[in-house]
Amino acid sequence: MRAEIIAEIERILPEKQILRQEPMKLHTTFRAGGRAELFLEIKTDYELQKLLTFFQESGTKYFVVGNGSNLLVSDNGYDGAILHIAEGFDNIAVADEKIIVGAGALLSRTASAALEHSLTGLEFASGIPGSVGGGAVMNAGAYEGEMSQVISRVKGITPDGGRVEYSNQELDFGYRKSLLKREKIVVTEVEFQLAGGIRKEISAKMADFAERRRVKQPLEYPSAGSTFKRPEGYFAGKLIMDAGMRGYCVGGAQVSEKHCGFIINKGGATAADIRQLMKEVQNRVKEQFGVELEPEVIYLGEE
C-alpha cells in the first residue's frame, strides 16, 4: 500500500488501532486464512466516515468485517485494508419494546438482552455467531426466523461517506440479501421492534434452539455455519449427503459427518483446503442432481 495512503490512515486513526500484517485466522470463525496488509479497528462513526470517504477518493481496496462468521480469507492474504466494526459499535439500549444496537454487537448478546427484558422475536438469533451489522446486511436467519421480521430501522454509511437511514420497507430484504448488501452500505446501528413476552417461554424457546443446534450441528469445530445457500426446492445438506460427500476431506477441511451442510476445519485446514472442498462439493452435486450450490461464504483475496 502506498506510503501516502498509510500516512492519511494514520491521521484518521490512533496508531494502536492500526494493525499491520494481521493474521485473519484470528478474526474468522473458520480459523484459517492469510494476513491482511492492514487491519483497522474502527471505534466511532466519525472514523468510519472519514476512512470510507478517503478510500473512495483514493481508490483504496477495503473490506468490512464484524465477527468474521461468513468469511474465508485466502492463504495469500488480502492486499488492502480490513475495517473491523466491533468495540465502540457494541452498545445495546432497550426502550419499551425496541432494542437499539450497535452494528458490532453479537446477535447472541442482543438476543440475551431481549430475554432479560422479556421481549420476544429474537430467539432465532441466539445461536447465530455473527454480528448485528452483518446479520442485517445478509438478512441472517434460522429456525424460520429472519432479521427482516424484527428490524424496524437501520443506520449506515455509504461507500462515499454519506450517512443514511432506512426503514424496514426500504431495505428490500430477500433470502440472504438486502439493499444494504447491494449498495455496500456499512451498517452502524440497527433498531429492532420486538413484542412483550413471557420470560420463561422465551428462555425455553432459546434453550430448544440451542439443543437442536448441539444435536445437529458440528459446533465443536471451526466453521462458517451453513456453507451454501438453500437452493430453491431443496436443502443443501441433504443434496450433499445424497451425493455421498458426508465426511469427505480435502486436507484439514471436511464435510461434517454431523451435518453435511457444514464444511468444518477438522484441524490445520488451510483456506485452499476449504475452498477446494467447496468446489468439489459443488461439482458433485451439479453432476448428480443438476443443482448449482451457491456459497454463503464470502471469499476474500487471490488464489
| Residues designated as active site | 176, 226, 296
CA separation for the pair 159, 166 (Å, rounded) = 16
> Directed axis angle between helix 45-58 and helix 3-12, to 10°?
160
Please give the full DSSP string across the chain, using - where no structure is assigned: --HHHHHHHHHHS-GGGEEEEEEGGGSSTT----EEEEEEEE-SHHHHHHHHHHHHHHT--EEEESS-TTEEE-TT-EEEEEEEE-TTS--EEEETTEEEEETTSBHHHHHHHHHHTTEES-GGGGG--SBHHHHHHHT-EETTEEGGGTEEEEEEE-TTS-EEEEETGGG--BTTB-HHHHTT-EEEEEEEE-EE--HHHHHHHHHHHHHHHHHHS-TTS-EEEE-B---TTS-HHHHHHHTT-TT-EETTEEE-SS-TTEEEE-SS--HHHHHHHHHHHHHHHHHHH--PPPBSSEEES--
CA 154 to chain centre: 16
Candidates 218, 250, 238, 219; CA nearest to 288 is 238
